[in-house]
């Protein structure tokens, strides 16, 4: 860029107009940003259309869950843990229940384990469908959210029948699950799975093969594999970089090691790869759900636990990990033998890619791509804020 | 059904990392590389042990480069107020062994100072900032410890055990005219005003 | 006062209210987890646009400020700024139990417990979280209120600004907003009307 | 009808007629988009409710003199354009100004918008305006080129004469049939002119919060809505008069108007938005060479 110069003696009419500090300006995206899964702000330093520096700002959704859990009984916390990640609540319940089971040595009936896997996978499908809608929204394709989010409602209807709640299920209890499957539920699940499988083909036509998406998402927000490992990416974002790590395979919990499924990976690690990993995961999840329905044994679904108001968990600690739809989701729980947890640390799946990786990927990107990069990482701000 | 534009590609084969080791082999490797002998297996895929506070940085560096634990899963902090200590727990995950090593570090609660490991793992900077914000532990060498979540916070670090959330809420927020009392009836009860040793400042 | 105002409505006001109720734009500012039930409400299955309700992105364009759930102190500050930027008549809808009495965060150190102490609330939707059907029913009752000319809570903010401002200062210590609220009240002839 | 009392009635009634048409078009657009998205959609005259609502708001926010004047430039410029575009039964002003005049006047609303939004000092608005002016370089060049080609062939720049020429021989003399290259290139340009997807990056609610409209509320936004609705009619009519043979009666006019708008909307519903640079690249790669080729073709044949 040449500086602004007059004919008069070659003097600047606007001295310093082209100094870096005057060419840059600050731009804020958020916190009222349409389409993110929660409030989250980006402070961008921009020159022209290019982002020079990005800083995330979180905390708009902070409720102090870790503190609240310390002030409540073990049984009460079951109702609040699911609120930590809104679009994909079940890994929280799973983690919380499994942490207690691991400390106290509680057995879980096999049927309950299968039902947990069923719920987790349905939740993953619902969460990914939600993400597709959001990602399509960032490129302005508003037909896709209308389709995928109302298809997600079919999964939510299943949840409502099984657990009584559409979004929050409060279903996993230490020692099993709260209710057995209702009459004829398996058939209805199969029907919904068939429906979603059919719809995926329509999504391909509308969205995944859409010329505009290919134009905008390929080559955007590239996170090379070595950087992904160094910066601590997990879950689909790591698999999109071609690194096949999945907690369900590598640190198996419940009955995942008995089930037959693949870990989809991609090579290019751009926004499109991350989207496609999620699209393929839906196919795998449908496959897992079908296997679970087929192999589910009969039996009880809950090993009865003592009086919940006086329920003590022996002293000890446990670190449990779950593969959520966003990545590695972990709880570190410490009990001192009382009626309340002594400490629960929630390691949200988005704490790495929602904060530092996002900041790195946004640097040098264009404003138009900022929200798409953010969405392709599928960061969930409530997990960061807790 | 239309074909997808891009076909799936094979990921990095896990075999390239080398054969997975069992818990015993890992503990042997830790002893050989770091000299910390106080590690024991705790269930499948879990190893835990104690590390001295001043040895943590070199321990972590050895874990990352030589023992092969390349993923820092989390850093947790526990406030043991009765003993006057903070316990920092570093969770390392190995993609090669599929095993988690938890290193427990005890530091003094009054000084609350610890060496940073952000130079080894970038994700540590989020966890350290978080612990600084919620426990008040200062990580020496971490340049980015400014407020992140509690930007306008004026009280003491909220996750310390002597901070009682309910008392703070009563002081700062306006409630409706009614309030639940069930929690005074159960065992342990409401730990707030009755046992107000530290309380909200 | 409300009754007197109702009887004084002219025919023009009534026609206007009946047209206005057909178009309500909601600020797409999602403060809490209730926001997750909004996409289903907006999209094909429940289709909010049937009633002329649309999400809008900036406060200047919006009529409804939907507080979808708990409000942390950090968010409350933004919400107050947003509310004052909105163009009257404007309606605050408290969504979910957390806005009514703190809900399950009743002892949390960062969330406020009663929204109507800080902003004039037109209507509450109870539940944790309200289902899309409940949201649509709630909006329909708001539409009825507007048609009847009863949705006047926004005037309350100008009339009782001292009360709201005092409570806001209690949380933040000191709060500075970009709008001179008493002057706006005079401009709208809300403050005189009370006298 | 183009003299005396009839003329005065037309001049007074025309803004209302095109506003009503705009409301119907806008409502139809939202309903059609909703149907594609498998929704019920809003009322057929939803834009009317929106405008009434916006105009009845108590607006106390003004960002200054230019902010207010900009609204007049917006609506005034669009109304002026409207008078010069012939519709069935009214082409009085066409004799005073041809398409070149229309082209000039059509630049007034974007200019007014740029000045007004500039005064709101909102970076989102400024970015939106910057994008709008960049996009202008994409579609405006293409559209003008197609017009030049068309006018060269017909030997006139008057929109009314061009329309009558096309009306002379039925469908076979329509611009899009005689000059398909120009017609199709102009169709792309029309999509950009109307800010419909894939050329909708100007308002992009996801990153710049509806760009130019960010700081507009109440009556300001109401004015923008009125301008938008009238502009819908004006832009579609211009394309219609140039390439679809215009219309001599209102039935034909409305059928063509809605058909053309349907085409625009269907494309709008199934595509996302291009980035500014991709949009320009697209315009300069496909429609612009297409238009240039069409012009060369006409020059070749004409002489």
Q: Percent of chain D beyond pLDDT 70?
A: 97
pLDDT at A194: 92
Tell me if D278 sits within 8 A of A219, measured CB to CB. Answer: no
Contact with chain C for residue D217, Cβ under 8 A:
yes
For D210, which residue in chain A has the nearest alpha carbon?
A34
Taking the CA of residue C51 and the nearest CA in chain D, the distance in Å comes to 6
CB contact under 8 A, B14 and A342: no
Predicted confidence (pLDDT) per residue in B62-85, tens digit: 888 777 788 888 899 998 888 888
State the Cα–Cα distance between residues A357 and A363, nearest whole angstrom: 10
Q: How confident is the model at residue A17 (pLDDT cuts 50, 70, 90)?
A: low
Thinking of the domain B14-140, which architecture would CATH place it in? 2-Layer Sandwich (3.30)
What residues of chain A lie within 8 A of the CB of C108, using their CB? 63-64, 67-68
Predicted confidence (pLDDT) per residue in C16-40, tens digit: 888 888 888 888 777 777 788 888 8
Tell me if A163 sits within 8 A of A147, measured CB to CB. Answer: no
CATH code of the domain covering residue A89? 1.10.645.10
CB contact under 8 A, D269 and A143: yes
Q: Is residue A21 part of a domain?
A: no
C60: Cα within 13 Å, side-chain hemisphere: 23
What residues of chain C lie within 8 A of the CB of B163, using their CB? 109
Predicted confidence (pLDDT) per residue in B163-188, tens digit: 888 778 877 887 777 666 666 665 55
Tokens of D298: 């006409």
- Domains of chain C: residue spans and CATH: 2-151 (3.40.50.12280)
pLDDT at A192: 92
Question: A40, A153, A212: which to substitute to probe chain D, counting the most D Cβ within 10 Å?
Answer: A212
Element (H, E) at A334: strand A328-335
State the Cα–Cα distance between residues D227 and D235, nearest whole angstrom: 12
Closest CA to D82 of D154, D142, D10, D145: D10
Listed range (A25-39, A254-268, B36-50, D111-125) with the worst mean pLDDT:
A25-39
From residue D115, alpha-carbon distances to A19, A240, D54 in Å are 25, 45, 22
For A31, which residue in chain C has the nearest alpha carbon?
C29
Q: How confident is the model at residue A6 (pLDDT cuts 50, 70, 90)?
A: very low
Whole-model pTM: value is 0.87
- Provide DSSP, chain B: -PPPSS-----B-GGGG-PPP-HHHHHHHHHHHH----EEE-STTEEEEE--GGGHHHHHHHIIIII---EEEEEEEEEETTTTEEEEEEEEEETTTTEEEEEEEEEETTT-EEE--TTT-TTHHHHHHHHHHHH--EEET-S--S-SS-TT--SS-TTSTT--HHHHHHHHS---S----GGGTSTT---SGGG-SS---
What residues of chain B lie within 8 A of the CB of A242, using their CB? 9, 11-12
pLDDT at A34: 52
Q: Is residue A31 part of a domain?
A: no
- Please, which chains are in contact with A (at least 3 CB pairs closer than 8 A)? B, C, D
CB contact under 8 A, C57 and D210: yes
DSSP class of residue C89 equals S
Phi–psi pair at A188, nearest 5 degrees: -65, -35
CB contact under 8 A, A266 and B70: no
Taking the CA of residue D135 and the nearest CA in chain A, the distance in Å comes to 14
For C44, which residue in chain D has the nearest alpha carbon?
D39
pLDDT at B14: 46
Domain of A127? 57-385
pLDDT at A193: 92
> What's the structural domain count of chain A?
1
Is it the case that residue B199 has pLDDT exceeding 60?
no
Predicted confidence (pLDDT) per residue in A253-267, tens digit: 888 888 888 888 888
Taking the CA of residue C29 and the nearest CA in chain A, the distance in Å comes to 5
Question: C31, C42, C44: which to substitute to probe chain A, counting the most A Cβ within 10 Å?
Answer: C44
Q: How confident is the model at residue B3 (pLDDT cuts 50, 70, 90)?
A: very low
Tell me if B69 sits within 8 A of B39, measured CB to CB. Answer: no
pLDDT at D117: 83
Contact with chain A for residue C48, Cβ under 8 A:
no
Number of neighbouring beta carbons within 10 Å of residue B171: 12
Chains A and D touch (3+ CB pairs under 8 A): yes
State the Cα–Cα distance between residues C79 and A98, nearest whole angstrom: 38
- Three-class DSSP category at C72: strand
Predicted confidence (pLDDT) per residue in A266-276, tens digit: 888 888 888 88
State the Cα–Cα distance between residues C147 and D103, nearest whole angstrom: 44
pLDDT at C8: 66
Q: Where along chain B do its domains lie?
A: 14-140, 165-195
Taking the CA of residue A144 and the nearest CA in chain C, the distance in Å comes to 10
Listed range (A84-98, D14-28, D140-154) with the worst mean pLDDT:
D140-154
Is it the case that residue C95 has pLDDT exceeding 80?
yes
pLDDT at D27: 92
Better pLDDT: B180 or B113? B113
Contact with chain B for residue C187, Cβ under 8 A:
no
B138: Cα within 13 Å, side-chain hemisphere: 6
- What is the ipTM metric for this complex? 0.84
Question: C25, C45, C58: which to substitute to probe chain A, counting the most A Cβ within 10 Å?
Answer: C45
Is it the case that residue B10 has pLDDT exceeding 60?
no
Contact with chain D for residue A138, Cβ under 8 A:
yes
- Three-class DSSP category at C10: coil
Q: Is residue A16 part of a domain?
A: no
Listed range (C120-124, D93-97, D167-171) with the worst mean pLDDT:
D93-97
pLDDT at A312: 82
Tokens of D177: 């049939």
Predicted confidence (pLDDT) per residue in A232-250, tens digit: 888 888 888 888 888 888 8
Q: How confident is the model at residue B8 (pLDDT cuts 50, 70, 90)?
A: very low
Tokens of A62: 């902070």
Predicted confidence (pLDDT) per residue in B129-156, tens digit: 889 988 888 888 888 888 888 887 877 8
Predicted confidence (pLDDT) per residue in D37-72, tens digit: 888 888 888 999 999 988 888 877 667 777 888 888
Give mean pLDDT, residues A285-310: 84
Taking the CA of residue B35 and the nearest CA in chain A, the distance in Å comes to 24
Taking the CA of residue B188 and the nearest CA in chain C, the distance in Å comes to 16
Give mean pLDDT, residues A120-126: 91
Taking the CA of residue A10 and the nearest CA in chain B, the distance in Å comes to 44
Find residues 14-33 of chain A whose CB sits inside 8 Å of chain C.
Answer: 31-32
Q: How confident is the model at residue B194 (pLDDT cuts 50, 70, 90)?
A: very low
pLDDT at B1: 35
Give mean pLDDT, residues D15-32: 90
pLDDT at A14: 53
Q: Is residue A166 part of a domain?
A: yes
Predicted confidence (pLDDT) per residue in A62-82, tens digit: 888 888 888 888 888 888 888
Listed range (A29-38, A187-196, A238-247, B42-51) with the worst mean pLDDT:
A29-38
Out of C40, C57, C72, the one facing A61 most closely (by C-beta) is C72
Is it the case that residue D209 has pLDDT exceeding 50?
yes
CB contact under 8 A, A63 and C110: yes
pLDDT at D23: 92
Is it the case that residue A44 has pLDDT exceeding 60?
yes
pLDDT at C163: 84
């Amino acid at each position: 860029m040449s500086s602004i110069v007059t004919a008069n003696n070659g003097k600047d009419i606007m001295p310093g107009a082209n100094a870096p500090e005057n060419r840059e300006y600050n731009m804020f995206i958020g916190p009222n940003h349409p389409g993110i899964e929660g409030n989250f702000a980006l402070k961008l330093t921009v020159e022209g259309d290019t982002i020079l520096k990005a800083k995330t700002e979180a905390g708009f959704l902070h409720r102090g869950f870790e503190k609240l859990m310390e002030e409540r009984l073990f049984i009460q916390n079951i109702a609040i843990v699911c609120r930590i990640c809104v679009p994909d609540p079940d890994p929280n319940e799973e983690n919380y229940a499994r942490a207690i089971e691991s400390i106290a040595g509680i057995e879980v009936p096999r049927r309950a384990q299968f039902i947990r896997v069923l719920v987790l996978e349905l939740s993953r499908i619902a969460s990914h469908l939600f993400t597709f809608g959001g990602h399509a929204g960032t490129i302005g394709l508003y037909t896709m959210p209308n389709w995928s989010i109302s298809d997600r409602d079919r999964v939510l209807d299943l949840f409502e029948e099984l657990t009584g709640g559409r979004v929050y299920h409060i279903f996993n209890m230490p020692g099993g699950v709260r209710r057995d499957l209702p009459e004829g539920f398996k058939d209805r699940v199969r029907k919904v799975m068939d429906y979603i499988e059919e719809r995926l083909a329509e999504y391909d036509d509308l969205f995944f093969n859409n010329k505009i998406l290919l134009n905008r998402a390929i080559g955007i927000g590239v996170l090379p594999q070595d950087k992904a490992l160094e910066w601590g990416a997990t879950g689909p974002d790591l698999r999109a970089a071609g690194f096949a790590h999945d907690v369900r395979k590598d640190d198996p919990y419940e009955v995942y090691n008995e089930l037959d499924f693949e870990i989809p990976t991609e090579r290019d690690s751009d926004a499109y790869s991350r989207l496609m990993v999620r699209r393929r995961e839906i196919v795998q999840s449908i496959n897992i759900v079908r296997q679970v329905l087929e192999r589910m044994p009969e039996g009880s679904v809950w090993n009865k636990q003592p009086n919940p108001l006086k329920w003590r968990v022996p002293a000890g600690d446990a670190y449990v990990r779950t593969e959520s739809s966003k990545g590695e989701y972990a709880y570190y729980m410490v009990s001192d033998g009382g009626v309340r947890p002594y400490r629960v640390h929630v390691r949200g799946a988005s704490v790495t890619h929602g904060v530092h990786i996002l900041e790195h990927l946004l640097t040098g990107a264009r404003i138009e791509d900022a929200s798409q990069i953010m969405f392709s990482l599928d960061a969930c701000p409530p997990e960061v804020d807790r | 059904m239309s074909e997808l534009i891009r076909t799936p590609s094979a990921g990095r084969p896990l075999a390239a990392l080398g054969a997975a080791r069992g818990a015993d082999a890992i503990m042997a490797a830790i002893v050989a590389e770091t000299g910390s002998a106080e590690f024991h297996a705790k269930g499948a895929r879990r190893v835990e042990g104690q590390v001295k506070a001043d040895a943590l940085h070199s321990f972590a560096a050895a874990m990352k480069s030589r023992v092969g634990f390349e993923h820092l899963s989390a850093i947790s902090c526990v406030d043991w107020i009765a003993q006057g200590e903070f316990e920092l727990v570093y969770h390392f995950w190995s993609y090669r062994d599929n095993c988690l090593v938890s290193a427990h570090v005890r530091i003094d609660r009054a000084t609350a100072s610890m060496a940073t490991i952000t130079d080894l793992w970038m994700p540590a900077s989020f966890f350290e900032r978080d612990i600084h914000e919620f426990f008040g532990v200062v990580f020496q060498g971490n340049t980015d410890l400014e407020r992140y979540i509690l930007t306008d916070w004026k009280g003491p670090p909220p996750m310390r055990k002597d901070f009682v959330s309910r008392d703070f809420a009563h002081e700062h927020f306006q409630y409706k005219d009614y309030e639940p009392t069930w929690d005074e009836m159960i065992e342990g009860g409401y730990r707030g005003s009755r046992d107000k040793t530290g309380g909200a400042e | 006062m409300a009754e007197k105002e109702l009887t004084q409505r002219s025919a023009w006001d009534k026609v206007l209210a009946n047209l206005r109720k057909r178009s309500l734009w909601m600020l797409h500012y999602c403060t809490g987890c209730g926001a997750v039930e909004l996409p289903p409400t907006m999209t094909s299955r429940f289709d909010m646009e049937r009633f002329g309700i649309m999400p809008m992105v900036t406060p200047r364009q919006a009529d409804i400020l939907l507080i979808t759930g708990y409000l942390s102190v950090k968010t409350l500050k933004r919400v107050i700024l947003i509310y004052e930027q909105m163009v009257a008549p404007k309606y605050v809808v408290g969504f979910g139990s957390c806005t009514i009495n703190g809900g399950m965060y009743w002892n949390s150190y960062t969330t406020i417990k009663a929204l109507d102490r800080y902003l004039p609330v037109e209507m509450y939707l109870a539940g944790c979280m309200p289902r899309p059907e409940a949201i649509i029913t709630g909006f329909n009752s708001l539409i009825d209120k507007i048609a009847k000319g009863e949705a006047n809570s926004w005037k309350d903010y100008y009339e009782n600004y001292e009360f709201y401002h005092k409570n806001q200062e209690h949380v933040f210590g000191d709060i500075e907003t970009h709008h001179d609220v008493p002057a706006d009240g005079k401009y709208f002839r809300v403050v005189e009307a009370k006298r | 009808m183009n003299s005396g009392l009839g003329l005065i009635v037309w001049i007074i009634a025309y803004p209302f007629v095109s506003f009503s048409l705009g409301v119907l078009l806008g409502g139809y657009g939202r309903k059609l988009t909703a149907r594609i998205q498998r929704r019920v959609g809003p009322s057929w005259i939803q834009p009317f409710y929106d405008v009434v609502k916006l105009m009845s708001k108590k607006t106390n926010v003004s960002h200054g003199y230019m902010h207010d004047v900009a609204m007049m430039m917006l609506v005034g410029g669009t109304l002026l354009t409207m008078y010069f575009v012939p519709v069935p039964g009214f082409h009085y002003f066409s004799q005073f100004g041809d398409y070149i005049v229309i082209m000039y006047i059509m630049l007034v609303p974007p200019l007014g918008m740029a000045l007004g939004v500039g005064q709101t000092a909102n970076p989102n608005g400024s970015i939106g305006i910057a994008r709008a002016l960049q996009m202008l370089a994409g579609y405006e060049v293409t559209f003008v080129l197609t017009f030049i080609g068309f006018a060269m062939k017909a030997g006139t720049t008057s929109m009314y004469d061009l329309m009558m020429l096309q009306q002379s021989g039925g469908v076979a003399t329509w611009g899009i049939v005689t000059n398909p290259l120009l017609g199709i290139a102009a169709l792309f340009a029309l999509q950009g002119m109307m800010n419909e997807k894939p050329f909708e990056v100007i308002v992009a609610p996801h990153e710049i919060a509806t760009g130019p409209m960010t700081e507009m509320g109440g009556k300001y936004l109401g004015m923008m809505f009125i301008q938008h609705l009238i502009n819908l009619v004006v832009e579609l009519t211009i394309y219609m008069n140039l390439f679809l043979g215009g219309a001599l009666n209102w039935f034909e006019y409305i059928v063509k108007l809605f058909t053309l708008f349907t085409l625009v909307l269907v494309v709008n519903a199934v595509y996302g938005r291009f980035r500014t640079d991709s949009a320009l690249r697209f315009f300069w790669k496909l429609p612009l060479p297409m238009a240039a080729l069409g012009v060369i073709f006409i020059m070749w044949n004409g002489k």
